[in-house]
Chains A and B, each alone.
Chain A
C-alpha cells in the first residue's frame, strides 16, 4: 500500500526577510520535486527558526519522500509538540510509522483518524493493514465488514478482509472472499494473498507457486518479491531468493524484510561487508530493531570485533531477557574472551529459558 505524506503549503507566506525567502524557496523546490534542495532549505531555515510548524512538517514530508522515515518522525513529533492534535501532521506521522513497519505506533493514530472520518476508506484500510501486521485479525474483520458490504467489488477490501478471515481461522468465509476476487479475474493481489496465506500455514511450495503467479501478473506490486523470496528460500532455492529480494529492493529500497534477508544470505556466504550494508539499511528503516542488531553483533563476532559484539549483546539481553539466541551468542563471546565464569552464567540462563520453554510444551500422559 503506497501513501504519500501531505505537504503543507504556505501560500500566505510573504517573504519578509532573507530567512523567509529560504523557506519559500524550499517549499517551491519541494513542490517542483527537487527534494534534496527542499531538504537543504528547510534544514537551513530551521537552524534559525527551530519552532516553525510548517518547516518542521514539510521537512518531515521531504524526508519521508526520500525514505528517511526516522528523520521524518522526529520532525513530525516536534511539530506536534507545537500544535498537538494537528490531524494532517498526525496522519503524516502515522504514515511514517507505517512505512517503517511500526504498526503498533501507527495504528492508534489511524484509528483516531478513522473514527472522525468513518465514510473515508483510506484511514480504515491503513488501520486494517496495521492490525493485520499486529495479528488483530478479528478486529480487521469487524472493521472491514461494513465497507465490504458497501463496496462488494473493491478488490483491496476483499484482499484484506480475506487475509484476516483466513488468519482468524474463518477459512470457509475467507476462501469465499478469495474466490470472489479470483472470479473477477486473476489478480496479483489475490495471488499474493493466497501465497502469504499458504506461507503462514507452512505450505512453502504452495506459497511459492502462488507468489510466482503474482510476480508474473504484477511485478511492481509492493512486497510481492519480498514474499516470493522468502518462499523460494524456504523451498531450497537460495539463488532465486536472492534475485527476488534484489528485485524488491530495486523498486523499494526500504523494504525491511528484503534488506534483512539479503544480509543473512551474504552472511551465510561469509561476505560480511555486503551483509553489513544491508543490515545498516535495515536498521535505518527500523532503528533499534533487535533482530538486526543481533545479526550485526554476530558478524562483529565472526570478524573478530569481539568486544563490540559483547557490548551489543549485553545490551540486547538487558532489553530482552528472554532472547535465548542472544544469550547463546553472548555465552560464546564470553568463552572466546576466556571469561569462563560469565560464559557459564549465560549458559545457566539458557538452560533456565529452555526449561521454561519445555514446561510450556503440550502433551498429556496416557497409559
Chain B
C-alpha cells in the first residue's frame, strides 16, 4: 500500500485527524529534576561489607504539610548508624509545592532533616489538629515530627513515647479501637544484632553480598495506642501481634470483613505474611487481633511456600463491596492479587489477571491500587528492583534495575498496559518506595517513586484529561480527623461505586490523603455518600456535587 493509498483510506475512515495528531501522549510523563526542582538524591550507604539496611530504603510521601491545598513531597534518606558513618552530612528532604509544577526544598526551616538511618515515612494527623504530622521509620530509631502549623515541625518522639529500638520499616496510622484518634502500627524487620551483624561471606565474584533475610531471626511488630494527650502506649502485648515474630516490610490498614474495625495485612520477607484481623475487646477488656493469614489463605503461596513479601495494598478492586489484597514478592515467586471471598478467606487470582505472568522475573516494592484514568475502575501500578546490586553477575534474566508496571482494569480484569504507558515504563529503576498523589491538582493521580541510591522519579499523570472526577478531602470531627476507615459511595453514569478509605499500603511510603472519584465520561455525579468511621458512624450524602474539583467534606455533628 502506498502512502497515498494509506492517506486516502484514512480520509475515508475519518482517521486524518488522528494521523495529524502525531504519536499518542504517554499516560505518565517523567518530570526531570531540572523541571521539578527536586535535586535531592538518596544515599544508600553501600559498603564493601554490604550491610542489609543499605538495600532496603527509601520511602517517600505526598503530604500537604502547610495546608495550602497542594501536595508537597517528603523523601527519606539514610544516615549515621552503628555500621555507617557518613562522610558528608545526610538529610531527609521536604519539598514545598510551588503550585506551578516546581518544588522548593524547605527541609531546614521545617526541621525535618532526620538524622537516623531512615527507612520509610507515614503521614497522619495523630493529634487531630488538622495538620499532618510525619513519622519516619529507621534502622536504629524512629522519629515523630509534630506539625507546628507554621511550616515547622518539632521532634516529639521521646515525649510521645515512640522511641522504638531495632529496625522499623513500613508504618501505618489507623484508629484500631474507633476512639477517634489515630493509633500506629510499626512493622519491625529482622533482628539485625546490636553490636555485631551477620556476614554471609563472598559470592561468586569474591565479594560480600547482601544476606538473604532468611538468615535473620524475625521480630514482632509494634502497635501503639494513641492516648489522646500526645503520648502513645504499646498495645501489642498479649495480642497475636506480639506473638507473631515476622520480618515485616509492608503494611496496609483495611477492613477485610466489613465489621467497621480496621484490620492489618502485613507483608513479611521469607516467612509467612500476616493478616491481623481486628476482633475488638475480649472478655477482659483487652483489644485483640487474630492473626489468620493461614486460614485466610494469604500467608503463603498457592504451593504452600513462604515468599519474600515486600509491598502490599488493599482495595475493592472488583467493586464487590469487599477489600481485596495485593502482595509483591521477589523474582520467580510472582506477586499475588487476592480476591476477597467475603468469608474471611481469599483466592489468588493473579494468574487470571495477568499479574503473575508479568511479575515472574521482578522483585516488587512500592505499589498502589488507584484509578489512574478516572474511569471508575481500580487500576494498579507496581515499582520494582532487585535487592542485590550484583544480581546481573550471576543471573542473566534478573536485573538490579527493573521496569515499572501499569495495569488497567478492563471488563473486570487487570491488563498489563506498561508497553503503552510511555517512555518511563520502558526504563528501569532500583525502585523502592512509591507514593500516589495529585501534585498539580488536575484530578489525575500522579506517582512518586523513591529509588535506592538515586534520585526520586516523579511521574505526571496525563492519561485521561477528558474523564470527569470529583476529589474529596474528608475531615473527621468525632471520628479521626483523617477519616481513615470512612466508606465512600458515589453514583454516576448509572453505576454505583464504593471505596473504603484505607491507609498505608505500598512500601515505606505515604499517599495523598484525598480521594479522587472517577466517573469516566458521565457528565453528572448524582450523589456521594460518606459513612464516617466510628465513633461517629454518621452517613452524610452530598447531592449533585460539582465535577472536576476538590471538595472539602467535614463530618456533620
Contacts and interface: CB of A to CB of B under 8 A. Distances in A.
Is the A/B pair a real complex? yes
Interface of A: 202-206, 234-236, 238, 268-270, 294, 298, 324-329, 331-332, 335-336, 343, 347, 350, 354, 357-358, 361-367
A363 B397 contact: no
B392 to A, nearest CB: 11
Q: 5 shortest A-B CB distances, which residue pairs?
A: A325-B304, A335-B295, A328-B304, A205-B397, A363-B198
Given A234-B397, A343-B295, A358-B214, A269 B352 contact: yes
Contact of B201 (A206, A358, A362): A362
B389 interface: no
B351 A268 contact: yes
B426 to A, nearest CB: 16
Nearest to A329: B304
B294 A328 contact: yes
A124 B368 CA distance: 58
B271 A354 contact: yes
Interface stretch (B31-39, B123-131, B189-197, B374-382): B189-197
B394 A236 contact: no
B394 A363 contact: no
A363 B193 contact: no
Contacts of A238: 357, 360
Given A269-B351, A354-B271, A364-B198, 11 more contacts: A202-B395, A203-B395, A203-B396, A205-B396, A358-B215, A361-B215, A363-B211, A364-B199, A364-B201, A365-B199, A366-B49
Contact of A298 (B49, B302, B345): B302
A363 B199 contact: yes
Given A343-B295, A358-B217, A325 B396 contact: no
B356 interface: yes
B352 to A, nearest CB: 7
Size category of the B interface is 35 or more
B294 A362 contact: no
A327 B305 CA distance: 10
Contact of B196 (A206, A234, A366): A366
Interface in B292-337: 292, 294-295, 297, 299-300, 302-306, 332
A362 B200 contact: yes
B26 interface: no
Which among B196, B304, B360, B396 has the greatest number of chain A C-beta atoms within 10 A?
B304
A328 B345 contact: no
B256 to A, nearest CB: 15
Given A269-B351, A343-B294, A365-B198, A326 B304 contact: yes
B215 A363 contact: yes
A366 B395 contact: no
12 contacts: A204-B395, A205-B397, A236-B361, A268-B351, A268-B356, A294-B304, A328-B294, A332-B294, A354-B271, A358-B215, A362-B200, A366-B198
Nearest to B362: A236
A363 B295 contact: no
Contacts of B396: 203-206
Chain B interface, DSSP helix/strand/loop, else mixed: loop
Nearest to A354: B271
Interface in B122-163: none
Contact of B294 (A331, A357, A363, A365): A331
A205 B356 CA distance: 18
Nearest to B195: A367
A363 B395 contact: no
Which among A206, A327, A335, A361 has the greatest number of chain B C-beta atoms within 10 A?
A361
Which among B196, B294, B297, B332 has the greatest number of chain A C-beta atoms within 10 A?
B294
A202 B394 contact: yes
Contacts of A336: 295, 345
Given A202-B394, A354-B271, A354-B306, A365 B196 contact: yes
B197 A365 contact: yes
A367 B351 contact: no
Contacts of B306: 354
A328 B302 contact: no
Contacts of B361: 235-236
B53 to A, nearest CB: 15
A324 B302 CA distance: 13
Nearest to B211: A363
B203 to A, nearest CB: 12
A361 B357 CA distance: 30
Nearest to B200: A363
A365 B193 contact: yes
A320 to B, nearest CB: 13
A130 to B, nearest CB: 28
Nearest to A355: B217
A270 B352 contact: yes
B295 to A, nearest CB: 4
Nearest to B199: A366
A367 B397 CA distance: 35
Contacts of B332: 234
Given A236-B360, A336-B345, A362 B295 contact: no
Interface string B250-262: 0000000000000
Contacts of A204: 395-397
A266 to B, nearest CB: 11
Contacts of A343: 294-295
A331 B214 CA distance: 22
Contacts of B302: 268, 298
A335 B346 CA distance: 13
Contacts of A331: 294-295
Contacts of A202: 394-395
B464 to A, nearest CB: 29
B199 A361 contact: no
Interface in B381-401: 394-397
Nearest to A357: B214
A183 B201 CA distance: 38
B295 A332 contact: yes
A353 to B, nearest CB: 11
A350 B302 CA distance: 16
Interface in B332-371: 332, 345, 351-352, 356-358, 360-361
Contacts of B397: 203-205, 234-236
A358 to B, nearest CB: 7
Contacts of B357: 236, 238
A361 B356 contact: no
Given A203-B395, A234-B397, A336-B345, A366 B197 contact: yes
Contact of B215 (A270, A347, A362, A367): A362
Which among A236, A364, A366 has the greatest number of chain B C-beta atoms within 10 A?
A236
Which among B198, B295, B332, B394 has the greatest number of chain A C-beta atoms within 10 A?
B295
A262 B195 CA distance: 50
Contacts of B360: 234, 236, 238
B163 to A, nearest CB: 25
A350 B352 CA distance: 29
A362 B208 CA distance: 13
A236 B360 CA distance: 6
B304 A324 contact: yes
Nearest to B218: A358
Contacts of A357: 214
Nearest to A201: B394
A72 to B, nearest CB: 32
A367 B49 CA distance: 11
A198 B303 CA distance: 25
A277 B295 CA distance: 28
Contacts of B295: 331-332, 335-336, 343
A350 B357 CA distance: 29
A347 B49 CA distance: 36
A204 B395 CA distance: 8
A270 B349 CA distance: 9
B289 to A, nearest CB: 16
A354 to B, nearest CB: 7
Contacts of A298: 302-304
A332 B197 contact: no
A327 B211 CA distance: 27
A328 B300 contact: yes
